[in-house]
Amino acid sequence: MRRHASPLALVLLGLGVFLLVLAPMLLWYVEPRAKRNPTDVNITSIFKGQGKYFDQENRRTRSDQKLTVTRRVLGNVADSEKTGRAVWDVSQTIDSPDTLKLDDPRRSFQWTTERWVTDRKTNLPVRCCQAKPAAGKNFSGEAYLKWPFDVEKRDYLWWDSTLGGTVPLHYKGKAKVRGYEGLRFSGTVKPTRSGSRQVPAVLVDRKKSGQIHAEQWYANAGLDFIVDERTGRILYAATGPKMTLRAPGGSKDEVTLLQSDKLAFTAKTQQDAVDLAKDDNDKLELLGTTAPLAAVVAGGVVAAAGAVLVVRGRRNGRAGRAAADGA
């Protein structure tokens, strides 16, 4: 009678080998490809703080006002799948107490829209899909709505839409948001001309009547971000903007359009960001550490068990044949 390895032994051996092969695939192939900017993002971030703004109706600057910045980021899945890029449509409003209750971006103190298009792996802006502003000579930087994956402890170039250029943000060490640790980056913007705006000449202390193209200037007393190290997600953000108008060629601010020492993520926005970062980290931890380790351990045990059964089956088969020959 001939005895061969049992089907169970072969199944266990095959399963063990499969798990051992799966581990490096998860670690070196699947997990790196999971580190991609998502295409189905849908996030609302709210900044709040005190400051002043120019009341266009009454043509005066109103001080000690509550200010609210609402930024909505919506992924355009269709364009993302078509191009292989991360295409995010961004809408941002700045509201005074009066305009906030209207719940209409067109009535906000300021409403801007952008289309942020990035390489899903590097997070760098790319010229594609009607990006606004267009990537190229002026639109650059390593970070804006998020940092790249695996954030390094170094300075980064951050894109400032109001400035229309990049700002160096300096690494300031580790910091916690709602008990969750991230990396902190900070920087400032010196007063810089950022454009022009047509306004009544009298507004910028020019006596002649009619309209004039006043210079728009921008500064920022404190850009502050805390970022999740693995995913690049922004956990906390604060900004201290100052937007003013000057007469053409003038050196003095004539009108303060907007100024705040600090507009920062609300507690809810911080918690939402931390929760999303935790979920993302858990998924990457599963693909990059937990699952590969479990596959190696389980694969080794199952393959060893299958090998033992195969060897035992062959030995029993040889013993059986020897006994039959002796008889």
DSSP state of 30: I
* Antiparallel, parallel or unpaired: β 180-200 and 86-95: unpaired
Residue 98 vs residues 55, 68, 107: alpha-carbon distances, Å = 11, 11, 9
Residues 279 and 313 in one domain: no
**pLDDT higher than threshold 70 for residue 17:** no
Q: At 249, is the secondary structure helix, strand, or coil?
A: coil
Report the pLDDT value the prediction gives residue 89, as an integer from 0 to 100. Answer: 95
Residues 212 and 311 in one domain: no
Q: What is the pTM of this model?
A: 0.79
Inside any domain, residue 259? yes
Residue 61 pLDDT grade (very low, low, confident, very high; cuts 50, 70, 90): confident
Q: At 177, is the secondary structure helix, strand, or coil?
A: strand
Inside any domain, residue 22? yes
Report the pLDDT value the prediction gives residue 297, as an integer from 0 to 100. Answer: 62
Q: What are phi and psi of 26, to 5 degrees?
A: -65, -40
Percentage of the chain beyond pLDDT 70 is 74
**pLDDT higher than threshold 70 for residue 26:** no
Residues 62 and 188 in one domain: yes
Q: For residues 307 and 14, what is the distance between their CA atoms, to the nearest angstrom?
A: 10
Residues 83 and 22 in one domain: no
Residues 51 and 84 in one domain: yes
Residues 229 and 308 in one domain: no
Q: For residues 56 and 33, what is the distance between their CA atoms, to the nearest angstrom?
A: 50
Residues 181 and 308 in one domain: no
**pLDDT higher than threshold 60 for residue 318:** no
Residues 302 and 206 in one domain: no
**What's the domain count of the chain?**
2
Residue 23 pLDDT grade (very low, low, confident, very high; cuts 50, 70, 90): low
Domain that holds residue 101: 30-284
Tens-place pLDDT, residues 111-167: 999 999 999 889 998 888 888 876 555 678 899 999 999 999 999 999 998 998 999
Of residues 293 and 223, the one with the higher pLDDT is 223
Tens-place pLDDT, residues 247-273: 998 889 999 999 999 999 999 999 999
Residues 78 and 18 in one domain: no
**pLDDT higher than threshold 90 for residue 204:** no
Residue 224 pLDDT grade (very low, low, confident, very high; cuts 50, 70, 90): very high
Residues 263 and 307 in one domain: no
Inside any domain, residue 1? no
